[in-house]
Amino acid sequence: MSRWKPDARGRLARAAMELYGEHGFEQTTVAEIAARAGLTERTFFRHFADKREVLFEGAAALEARLVDGVVAAPADAAPIEVVAAALRSIAPIFAERRPFARQRQAIVAANPELRERELIKLAALAAAVTAALHERGVDEPQASLAAEAGIAVFRIGFDRWVAACDDGAELGEVMDELFGSLSALVAAGVAPRKARR
Amino acid sequence: MSRWKPDARGRLARAAMELYGEHGFEQTTVAEIAARAGLTERTFFRHFADKREVLFEGAAALEARLVDGVVAAPADAAPIEVVAAALRSIAPIFAERRPFARQRQAIVAANPELRERELIKLAALAAAVTAALHERGVDEPQASLAAEAGIAVFRIGFDRWVAACDDGAELGEVMDELFGSLSALVAAGVAPRKARR
């Protein structure tokens, strides 16, 4: 890939990821990112609001896709099935990106500010799924519980998928297996209670 | 209660909560808190590191109690039962404090920085419960799933308990009911899968 290829945004993102990995997020400056990409700081700020956005630019699109998945689930699906289907629908976004996801995960894990930002992102996803379930007519506390359980499965599943050495199971499969484990766990420990209306 | 009662810490905390409620967390200064409590700023900083600590001082004790609850659960309890028992064991801490909890919840909800801090507190609780389950010999992903599900129940349950108009159900009952709802939700939507070892 030539240095002068006009994909400025992609070059800046790749340069940033490299530098965050090499020197840490905190220690990397926008000037260094721009220099490594062979571009100017002004160009960086035309594409990204700040250093952090390189790592979180996909969050809004992810949330939108997840909500679309909730909306698109079959009308007769149980709430937890709706959430599982929505999560399955976003898994392909990550399929080609395991190396990037792995690199990103390590950068986020190494920095408290980024870990906090990641928590906020996940809380926003849970809130968006909860709201989309309300739209489908799911009551409380079922909507919040299903959304929170789903986002926990996503978080734990993503960690496991990224960490897997063999690049074997796809994210969707990992999450489906976790839903199954959650079901077994809950069945082993708590008697179901009829929802109050 | 006399103004000169020597409970400086309690007076400062009450003054802070009043002012956060009246003017907002952001707009309140330590000087105002000290003045309302009839004490000096120096005294405030002898008791609290900053304005935020008034709202989060109980976090470390809560985490310790929750971990104690995990350790103390019967040896043969299923992981989700362990988590439910640990949550039940912390519920009495809040029993006498619903008005304070309600006031605190409103202050936290109104401020993005405090909402983030609350997310971090909850993530730390989930991590502590996960680690305590590992100590009991619970494998992954069961430990993470049980801990995350439990903290979701705690968060949703706490919100419902605080918001309840009639001051009826106790927090422990609210959480038990949520575990039952979670069980029903999961049973309605996902087939249990045997844990892999």
Q: How many CB pairs under 8 A join A and B?
A: 144
pLDDT at B197: 38
Looking at residue A166, its pLDDT comes to: 66
B9 has a pLDDT exceeding 70: yes
Per-residue pLDDT, A164: 82
SS (H, E, C) A151-194: HHHHHHHHHHHHHCCCCCCCHHHHHHHHHHHHHHHHHHHCCCCC
Is residue A144 within 8 angstroms of chain B, CB to CB? yes
Interface pTM (ipTM) of the complex?
Answer: 0.83
Question: In angstroms, rounded to a whole number, what is the distance separating the alpha carbons of residues A31 and A13?
Answer: 13
What secondary structure letter does DSSP report for B110? T
Whether B188 and A78 lie within 8 Å, measured CB to CB: yes
CB contact under 8 A, A155 and B148: yes
Closest by CA to A49, choosing from A105, A9, A106, A15, is: A9
Window from A45-49, A56-60, A134-138, B147-151 with minimum mean pLDDT: A56-60
Q: What is the pLDDT of residue B196?
A: 44
Contact status, residue B188 vs residue A149, Cβ threshold 8 Å: no
Q: Quick check: A1 pLDDT over 50? A: no
pLDDT given at position B195: 47
Q: Is A152 in contact with B146 (Cβ distance < 8 A)? A: no
Instruction: Name the region of A137 (left: φ>0; alpha: ψ -120 to 50; beta: rest).
Output: left
Identify all chain A residues contacting B142, using CB atoms and an 8 Å cutoff: 181, 185
What's the rounded Cα separation, in Å, for the pair A44 and A19? 14
pLDDT for position B64? 95
Subunit contact A184:B177, Cβ cutoff 8 A? no
A188–B80 C-beta distance less than 8 A: yes
Structural domains of chain B ordered from first start: 8-54 (1.10.10.60), 58-187 (1.10.357.10)
Name every chain B residue with its beta carbon within 8 A of the beta carbon of A79. 185, 188-189
Task: Pick left, alpha or beta for residue A28 (phi over 0 → left; psi -120 to 50 → alpha; otherwise beta).
Answer: beta
Q: Which of A57-61, A151-155, B192-196 has the lowest mean pLDDT?
A: B192-196
Residue to test with chain B: of A161, A181, A194, most B Cβ within 10 A: A181
| B104-157 pLDDT per residue, tens | 999 999 998 899 999 999 999 999 999 999 999 999 999 999 999 999 999 999
Q: Quick check: A145 contacting B, CB < 8 Å? A: yes
* Cβ-contact A155, B126 below 8 angstroms: no
**Could you tell me what percent of chain A has a pLDDT over 70?**
92
* pLDDT band of A195, cuts 50, 70, 90: very low
Query: Which residues of chain A are within 8 Å of residue B153 when distances are taken between CB atoms?
Result: 145
Average pLDDT over residues B159-174: 84
Q: Do B123 and A119 touch (CB under 8 A)?
A: yes
Average pLDDT taken over every residue of chain A: 90
Please check the confidence at residue B1 and state whether its pLDDT lies above 50.
no
A158-183 pLDDT tens trace: 999 988 866 678 899 999 999 999 99
Which segment of A58-67, A91-100, A101-110, B137-146 scores lowest on mean pLDDT?
A: A91-100
Question: Per residue in A12-43, pLDDT tens?
Answer: 999 999 999 999 999 999 999 999 999 999 99
Contact criterion met (CB below 8 Å) for A196 and A141: no
Tell me if A113 sits within 8 A of B150, measured CB to CB.
no
Q: Is A78 near chain B, with CB under 8 Å?
A: yes
- pLDDT-derived band at A190, boundaries 50, 70, 90: confident
Cβ-proximal residues to B37 (8 Å cutoff; 6+ apart), any chain: B8, B11, B12, B14, B15, B44
What's the DSSP call for residue A39? S
- Of residues A149 and B96, which shows the higher confidence score? A149
Model's pTM, two decimal places? 0.86
